[in-house]
Structure 1
Amino acid sequence: MDIRPSLLSFIFAGSSKWRLNYTFPELVLELDTRTIKLNPEQVLETHIQKGWIWSSLTLKTLDQNFQFKGMLNTQAEQFQAEIRNDAEFLRNKRNAEQIKETLKPYLREYHNFIQQNIYLSHRLSKLFRSDLSQRSKAPVEQFNSLIQRDSSFAFEPPLQNLFEQLQQFIELPVEANYAIDAKNKRFVESELKVFKQFFDQVESTPLTDEQRISSIIFEDRNLLVAAAGSGKTSTIVGKVGYALLTGLYKPEEILVLAFNKNAGDELSERINLRLKDILTQFTTRVEALNFHKFGVKVIGKATGKSPSVSNDAGKPQSLLNRIIQQLIETDPDFQAKYLLFKTAYLRPPLSPFAFKTQNEWEKAHRRSFDRFKDGFETYQGEIVKSHGEKAIANWLYSQGIPYQYEISYEHDTANENHRQYRPDFYLPEISLYLEHYAVDQTGKPPAHFGQKYLDDMKWKSGIHQQYKTDLITTTFHEFITGSIFRKLEQELKSRGQVFRPRSLAEINAKAQSIYEHDANELYVSFLSHYKSNQANIASLLTRPSLNLRESLFLQLFSKVYQQYDQLLKSSKEHDFDDLLIESAQLINENRYKSPFKLIIVDEFQDTSQARARLILSLLNQVPEAKLFCVGDDWQAIYRFAGSDISIFTQFEKVFGYTKQTQLTQTFRSNQGIANVASGFIQKNKSQLQKVVNAVDKTSSKVVEISFLTKTQEIHEYLMKTIMEINNANSGSDKKKSIYILGRYRHHKPNLDSIRPFLRNCSVEFKTIHSSKGLQADYVILLGLNTGSSAFPSEKEDDPLINLVLPQPETHAYAEERRLFYVALTRAKEKVFLIGERNSVFLEELTKDPSRKEFIHIPQDENTSINHDIPEKWRCPKCNQGRMWKRTGPYGEFMACSNYSKCGYTKSLRRKV
């Protein structure tokens, strides 16, 4: 830019002789005889005094001012803008260079951190980020602001890239930092190559890529989700070996915790055997302990006295039984409430109001029947049609009140619209009839029952009015609120009924005779959760939403627990939960100093709240300690022992930022079994989702379902199936193994007659719980039935446990589904499932079209559908017979015309 005054400016603007020449970055001023050279930064201020055409421009420097008259207005404005912009540019450039020098040490620091030959954990990165951010945040923000205005101020490409990483590192949370994630991936890839030989040889077969990666990653909190038969123990061995080999930890700094003593001993032996060559460099071994043994060590170390553990600690059932029996004998209030709970509320009542359709209700109601019964068996031995009727019958029996169930009414009532009336109960000593109705507090039945139900109620009432017979009614609402028994007592006593209460021993004998489960088992499970979750009985009892069953049980448990706690304290003994709770407290109080920097927990899906608090106490005391937990939430089957699956499924919420890895390759089950099992368990969306890939790709017809309920049929099927497996393996050097699994011990079949003929296979019965961690070539699962010994069991998923769970499970039969998954995944080659057609689990499997390829149902193949019978009336069990209405001693029902072979019936009565 070269500006001089024009002739006109001399005449009209009074301009003197001057010249202003500006070529960045030099400004040359010529005034009269003087020539002055400046750079834009020396011009501190420019001022324009505008006229109509010409302006007077003043430049201010540090020591003097320069004035230029007669400059065109446009020239003055253009010059002013350029000189200001260029001055700012030079100032920014100089500032940028200064900031660059300030930033270079931080860039080197960040570079050195990111290039370390270690896995950068979240905590380490967070600490470094916090420190570096505090020191470098201001210059980073200043420099970023400058390069946003002018990219020419940026570093050369390599350093600029590093600066951008640094900027992201201090601005974003560590878990969102791609540079750290990328660095850790490169580190893992490098370690896989460096330690290839170790991972190839540490176990009898080379570890998989998933196992190796899980062994190398050392995040602060690590969760390994391992499919059944995927080699989680080998991964633990690999993890410990890698930690020792790389010098990350010494044996005495590693704590391996197992669920129980046997698991701890086996894990300790496996680690020290497979890593014996590495451990020769050290003077100590790696010790694997169960949680309770570790608790004993902590308490002994902290207090100087090893705690005394109750003989009943492992199995508190016997102690609780003694306490309950003592309370029954000495506390009349306890005895009365215990008897009421046992006779009427042992099982949670099924509400018809919880269902939208009649079909849904009938299906669920039928599934709740006692096993092999078309209803519920009472202490007196008859089969009644609802929970409510059973409760009434058992209450009458326990009070020694004679009654008759559904006998014909004393007057003839049969007409073209109604069969002969059979009231629910008749009490002969006071000539009283009793009807129990499925209605709410307003007297209305569920909408899906329809108008006919109300009409029948009115008709029955009219009959009693017509013949002037005495009738009282009870309702479902009265049953669930508990007012039903106060009402019955008042009504019966007002009519002169004599009460002759039976002894508890007599009632217990009757309960056992109908295979009713032991009420006291519920106390054991509740006790473990109560202590582990540090619940408070007073708080539980004041919950506004408690129903009668919950309130009744809590009142009973309160007295049982008080006695239990006093017995332990008076004998100065600990139960297993006490060991966990006290050891965690001692660690939190720093009375025990933890030497452990790597904590490994096996079977983590079985962890309780007390175990979790113990782990947290160790981590809080040693902030740099790492946690590596291994397990499979699909196999969490010990809720009855206090386990809380939410600790696993919400691991990060409990322990902080977590790196989750998976073992998805199973070496046990074939692909067909894996698909059936994993598809089934993942219907519960609360379970962690994963895809299981089997080494054995066999998939066709590997799960066989047989619908059998009669004892003789099941026995014959077992004999036939076992002999077929035995014969098919003839000539093989290795015997095939068969597990017969049952939900309960009483499912164990008698196989004595066949054992002498088994040359090529071995057969062993186990409960599903005891089979956990084991495998067999073939699995035969018995007892997929409904009723009192059902699988899925209502007892094990009793909603009372939810009172002491931080986060109760909402999916139906959640624990039982996991138990079924465990049973399926014990098998390598084939699974045989035996049960009823209306089994919840079998129905789900057979109705899933995505599993059709893997499932084989011989009976369906051998039974064609009789299309001559309309589908509406066709038997849903055998597809051959026609359903006909029949009348029996307990009312109307539908029966298959092929009953002698099929045996299918369906009640037409609707009860609660």
Structure 2
Amino acid sequence: MQHRWFPSALALCRYRCAPWSLQLDGSQLSAITAQGRYTLPLSAQAGLTLQRRWWWTSVHLHGEDGQAICLPGLSPRDARQLQQLLDHAQADTQRQHRLAAMAAWIDAADALCDQAVQQRRWISHEQQQALLLQRQHIDPGQQARCQASPADLSGAEAACLQDWQADWPALWEQANQHMADAELAHSRALFARVESRPLSEEQARAVICFDNRVQVVAAAGSGKTSTLVAKAAYAIDRGIAQPSQILMLAFNKEAAGELQARAQQAFARLGQPGWQVQAATFHALGLQIIGQASGRTPHVPAWAIDAQAGVDKLAEQVDMLKDRSADFRTRWDLFRLVFGHALPAAGTAIAQADGHDRAGQPYVLTLRGEQMHSQEHCLLANWLFYNGVDYCYRAPFALDADSSGTRSHHPDFHFPQAGLWYEHHVLDADGQPLLHFSAQQQASDFKRLIHHARGHRLLETTSAQLRSGQAFALLADALQAAGIELDPHPDRELPADGQPPLPDEELIGLMRAFISHAKSNALGNAALQQRLAGLPGDDFSERHRRLLELAAPVTAAWDQALAAEGGVDFEDMLNHAAELLESGQASTPWTLVMADEFQDASRARARLCRALVAAPHRHLFAVGDDWQSINRFAGADVGVMTGFADYFGHGQVLQLTQTFRCPQALCDAASRFVSKNPAQLRKQVRSLTPAHGPVLQALQVARREQLGDAVARLLTRLVAQLRSGQQPPGRGGKLQVFVLGRYNRERAWIPADWQERFGQWLQLRFATIHRSKGAEADVVILPGLLAGSFPSQRADDPALALAMPDGEHYPLAEERRLFYVALTRARRQVLMLTVQGRNSPFLDELVADGAVQLTHLDGQAVDEKRCPACSTGVIVLRNGPYGPFHSCSGYPRCQYKPGQSALTTPAPRLAGSKG
């Protein structure tokens, strides 16, 4: 359609404008003047402007050759029409440009799908994000605003718009799945030969997946090493990476050596013995990066790497600090004697009882040997004892006959030499009773009235003040005002029946773990103090504060010991290596980084891994099992596994659920036990391994002294089963037996002459459970499933939460994982030993779940009544000076004695026992 415009009559007659004409023909503007004809594409908007005056509008044209003309005198009506046509043309041009950009983007997005199908390449998250970012620039609102109705669009344009609005991430995911399905068939020969047995489909899919971040959650015995080795071979075979671009990371030299050897064996099977990939420990890698960047390799002493050696070295530094500073020794011993044990959550009952009284009530022991039914009272009593203050606890005094119908009152504490009375109330910072103590407010008011009526000097504190530390300051001021001087004395003789203080070695172990976590998370003293200030009001912040008072000089002494040898510790070295990569001062050639046993990664290790793959087109393949994260004492942070995406960004999460080790029944029992912690990753472990008899047996002896004989009897039984054919021989013709202990001392229960007696048929070895990870045997014997021994009650000290991103809240979380590791070392069965009345709560839990039945060594089911007070001991018949009586087998720790009615009423029995 053509449009023509001329100067208005007013412009021609009154203002004597020179005649001109302007013609729009399709997308071409033509201007005719006395000087000639000019043309301009309508799309060249910058070459045409309208200058409006109140009586007319001038049209200015600017040609590409720099020539400009002015057409004055356009009427307001014609100017509006021209402007509308210009706006429409501009919108149409923009629409065409957007559609062209959209079409180009769709071609690129579609090419990724073609890449997956035709080139057999995984579409990585990095590639997808790059295209999605381009899409944002094309259409920031994520909606194609073409400013045209569907009727105005051509068929091609409508199709383009429809493709643009497709769910491309879903299409890419489908393409990846199609690619993986096809690749399973295409690379079947490689997957069949790369390891000694063909890869499972789960393993093969993990190998094929080449997203930028891949986390593989692998069950115990599911072939993690096979998967790592096969991925290296696959990457080289498919041209995804050169051998020199592949790095495999392990957590110790032995594991790194195994990875290297297994890789070379795999390459040889594939006919490529010349392929060479690097397997290294994090220690060696960090040194390599720092050395290449600075020209000097740092020295990391052996004691700064090995967990036990580090504890031993730290013990030397602590002894030195004690010798040099009386103040440090006082603080150290005060923590051991008074603050060594954490308090349970405010308002809850006793968490770890030292025993139970005759009425079945739990109690804790003070340093002086008193039985207290409140852990807060026990803490106060220990503080008083440490400071040499004589006190009376709950000593009654008579009340007047008309005093509330109560004849006597038992104040919490009384200091007779000073005439001072002390009541501690279970109240929060607002004076309100805490959970489970709803009557505390009324009781506190009653106590206050009693003391007021008698004119007593009274000190009162609350739970909130105790946990914040204010209660100790108030108590010290009140005692000193009453003429009682505090006399801190760590070497004061402790009664034999009192609660033993926290051993030095346990506090040193806690310090070593705390230093490791703090350094791994790059938390200096100022940052730790800031975290302390941010703790919730009901937390035991006073204990954390006192721990930090010790941690600062101990950390300084640790660093001085390092400096004396010209070295750095493991965590500082890893952080330095990561800093060099992050700042660009160092670079590495690896495009595929694979980390084994990732559940044991510290934050420093995780940071280094993240820095290694921060550059474009790099891949992290992390394999581990959060159910087997048991090295928190050495700095491991299970949150690296459970929060993988938060730390490393979006990635694929795959699972290896088929185990090649444990029979299904053992898998089910172990998985059910460990997965009760909801913070852990979920998986369903499957097995095709056949069972040879019962996979779990729980055996009880009468006394601890009989455990060594019990182990010998079990070994004798295994030999008999092997010789009779009930047990087939294991690898190498012998039955492989693992005796696993929570502690090294349990080695003593193995017969000293086992080699002479059983060596012809059995291959026997002992290890702690921590040392057994990664190993396996036909039969596992756990000789020490005793209450107080396994689980260790000090496994998860809440103070470590200060130095970690987020502590664990599930009770005994790491000890539960340790038990899972012990159970899953067995290819056939696990034999567990306990002592009457001292069952480990973990064993009780298996019994209660129906996973195992508790029997005597002769196979007879244990039939006993569980003590209702301590839930650990059992009711036994004893003889006393007044004849036979029943009591808890845990006496004197548990002093419960059932009445006659309790004996005639059916008592709770052990789950799985007869009767």
The TM tier, using the shorter chain, reads 0.7 to 0.9
**Structure with bigger gyration radius:** 1
2:746 paired with 1:757: no
- Where 2:827 maps in the other structure, the secondary structure is strand
Out of 217, 226, 231, the position equivalent to 1:239 is 231
Question: Which residue does the alignment assign to 1:224?
Answer: 216
- Provide the rounded CA distance (Å) in 2 between the counterparts of 1:499 and 1:680: 49
- Provide the rounded CA distance (Å) in 2 between the counterparts of 1:457 and 1:708: 52
- Provide the rounded CA distance (Å) in 2 between the counterparts of 1:704 and 1:418: 55
Out of 623, 626, 643, the position equivalent to 2:619 is 626
Question: Which residue does the alignment assign to 2:554?
Answer: 560
2:661 paired with 1:668: yes
- Provide the rounded CA distance (Å) in 1 between the counterparts of 2:852 and 2:488: 53
- Provide the rounded CA distance (Å) in 2 between the counterparts of 1:630 and 1:106: 35
Out of 699, 711, 716, the position equivalent to 1:718 is 711
Q: CA deviation at 1:832?
A: 3.1
Count of paired positions: 774
Question: Which residue does the alignment assign to 1:846?
Answer: 847
The one-letter amino acid paired with 1:587 is L
Question: Which residue does the alignment assign to 2:855?
Answer: 858
CA deviations on 1:157-213 (whole Å, 9 max, x unpaired) are: xxx6xx5884246xx5xxx62321222222212222222111111111111011111
2:644 paired with 1:651: yes
Q: How does 1:122-161 map to 2 (within 5 A)?
A: 122-128=125-131, 130-131=133-134, 141=144, 148-149=150-151, 153=155
- Provide the rounded CA distance (Å) in 1 between the counterparts of 2:688 and 2:153: 55
- Where 2:684 maps in the other structure, the secondary structure is coil
Question: Which residue does the alignment assign to 1:120?
Answer: 123
Q: Unmatched 5+ residue regions in structure 1?
A: 1-91, 355-360, 906-912
CA deviations on 1:312-353 (whole Å, 9 max, x unpaired) are: 311432332233223323333322222211111111023561
CA deviations on 1:131-155 (whole Å, 9 max, x unpaired) are: 5786799999488966x44999359
Question: Which residue does the alignment assign to 1:20?
Answer: none
The one-letter amino acid paired with 2:803 is V
Out of 541, 544, 564, the position equivalent to 2:533 is 544
Out of 281, 285, 288, the position equivalent to 1:294 is 285
Out of 695, 700, 710, the position equivalent to 2:688 is 695
Q: CA deviation at 1:649?
A: 1.4
Instruction: Report the CA distance shift for 1:459/1:883 in structure 2 as closer, same or farther (over 3 A).
Output: farther
Q: CA deviation at 1:634?
A: 1.1
Question: Which residue does the alignment assign to 1:827?
Answer: 826
Q: CA deviation at 1:803?
A: 1.0
Out of 598, 603, 610, the position equivalent to 1:604 is 598
Instruction: Report the CA distance shift for 1:639/1:279 in structure 2 as closer, same or farther (over 3 A).
Output: farther
Q: CA deviation at 1:612?
A: 1.8
- Where 1:265 maps in the other structure, the secondary structure is helix
Instruction: Report the CA distance shift for 1:366/1:590 in structure 2 as closer, same or farther (over 3 A).
Output: same
Out of 426, 435, 442, the position equivalent to 1:439 is 426
Question: Which residue does the alignment assign to 2:299?
Answer: 308
Mapped contact 2:248–2:278 kept (Cα < 8 A)? yes
Question: Which residue does the alignment assign to 2:723?
Answer: 730
- Provide the rounded CA distance (Å) in 2 between the counterparts of 1:469 and 1:461: 10
- Provide the rounded CA distance (Å) in 1 between the counterparts of 2:542 and 2:109: 64
Mapped contact 2:426–2:440 kept (Cα < 8 A)? no
- Where 1:686 maps in the other structure, the secondary structure is coil
The one-letter amino acid paired with 2:528 is L
The one-letter amino acid paired with 1:801 is L
The one-letter amino acid paired with 1:216 is I
- Where 1:184 maps in the other structure, the secondary structure is helix
Mapped contact 1:426–1:432 kept (Cα < 8 A)? yes
Instruction: Report the CA distance shift for 1:865/1:742 in structure 2 as closer, same or farther (over 3 A).
Output: closer
Q: How does 1:181-196 map to 2 (within 5 A)?
A: 181-196=173-188
- Provide the rounded CA distance (Å) in 2 between the counterparts of 1:570 and 1:465: 65
The one-letter amino acid paired with 2:155 is F
The one-letter amino acid paired with 1:829 is R
- Provide the rounded CA distance (Å) in 2 between the counterparts of 1:96 and 1:461: 85
- Where 2:533 maps in the other structure, the secondary structure is coil
TM-score, length-scaled by structure 1: 0.72
- Where 2:767 maps in the other structure, the secondary structure is strand
Q: CA deviation at 1:559?
A: 2.1
Q: CA deviation at 1:651?
A: 1.4
Percent identity of paired positions between Structure 1 and Structure 2: 30
Q: How does 1:291-440 map to 2 (within 5 A)?
A: 291-314=282-305, 315-351=309-345, 353-354=347-348, 361=349, 364-366=351-353, 376=364, 387-388=375-376, 391=379, 394-395=382-383, 398-399=386-387, 439-440=426-427
Question: Which residue does the alignment assign to 2:8?
Answer: none
The one-letter amino acid paired with 1:757 is R
- Where 2:522 maps in the other structure, the secondary structure is coil
Instruction: Report the CA distance shift for 1:330/1:590 in structure 2 as closer, same or farther (over 3 A).
Output: same
Mapped contact 1:406–1:890 kept (Cα < 8 A)? no
- Provide the rounded CA distance (Å) in 1 between the counterparts of 2:839 and 2:151: 73
- Where 2:616 maps in the other structure, the secondary structure is coil
Q: CA deviation at 1:381?
A: 6.5
- After superposing the two structures, state which structure 1 stretch, 269-278 or 514-523, moved more: 514-523
2:520 paired with 1:532: yes
Q: Unmatched 5+ residue regions in structure 2?
A: 1-90, 536-540, 878-884, 909-915
Mapped contact 2:427–2:441 kept (Cα < 8 A)? no
Instruction: Report the CA distance shift for 1:464/1:741 in structure 2 as closer, same or farther (over 3 A).
Output: farther
Q: CA deviation at 1:512?
A: 7.9
- Provide the rounded CA distance (Å) in 2 between the counterparts of 1:769 and 1:672: 24
- Provide the rounded CA distance (Å) in 2 between the counterparts of 1:772 and 1:631: 12
Question: Which residue does the alignment assign to 2:741?
Answer: 742
Instruction: Report the CA distance shift for 1:884/1:294 in structure 2 as closer, same or farther (over 3 A).
Output: closer
Instruction: Report the CA distance shift for 1:94/1:221 in structure 2 as closer, same or farther (over 3 A).
Output: closer
The one-letter amino acid paired with 2:235 is A
2:548 paired with 1:575: no
- Provide the rounded CA distance (Å) in 2 between the counterparts of 1:127 and 1:443: 57
- Where 2:749 maps in the other structure, the secondary structure is coil
Instruction: Report the CA distance shift for 1:451/1:399 in structure 2 as closer, same or farther (over 3 A).
Output: closer
Mapped contact 1:700–1:855 kept (Cα < 8 A)? no
Q: CA deviation at 1:555?
A: 1.6
The one-letter amino acid paired with 1:194 is H
Q: CA deviation at 1:446?
A: 6.0
- Provide the rounded CA distance (Å) in 1 between the counterparts of 2:331 and 2:738: 43
Q: CA deviation at 1:260?
A: 2.1
2:507 paired with 1:523: no
- Where 1:115 maps in the other structure, the secondary structure is helix
- Provide the rounded CA distance (Å) in 2 between the counterparts of 1:95 and 1:586: 47
Instruction: Report the CA distance shift for 1:108/1:806 in structure 2 as closer, same or farther (over 3 A).
Output: closer
Q: CA deviation at 1:240?
A: 0.4
- Where 1:207 maps in the other structure, the secondary structure is coil
Mapped contact 1:665–1:692 kept (Cα < 8 A)? yes
Out of 244, 250, 256, the position equivalent to 1:252 is 244
- Where 2:585 maps in the other structure, the secondary structure is coil
The one-letter amino acid paired with 1:524 is R
The one-letter amino acid paired with 1:637 is I
Mapped contact 2:106–2:163 kept (Cα < 8 A)? yes
Instruction: Report the CA distance shift for 1:151/1:708 in structure 2 as closer, same or farther (over 3 A).
Output: farther
- Provide the rounded CA distance (Å) in 1 between the counterparts of 2:356 and 2:210: 52
User: Aligned-residue CA RMSD in angstroms?
Assistant: 5.1
- Provide the rounded CA distance (Å) in 2 between the counterparts of 1:674 and 1:124: 39
Question: Which residue does the alignment assign to 2:802?
Answer: 803
- Where 2:748 maps in the other structure, the secondary structure is coil
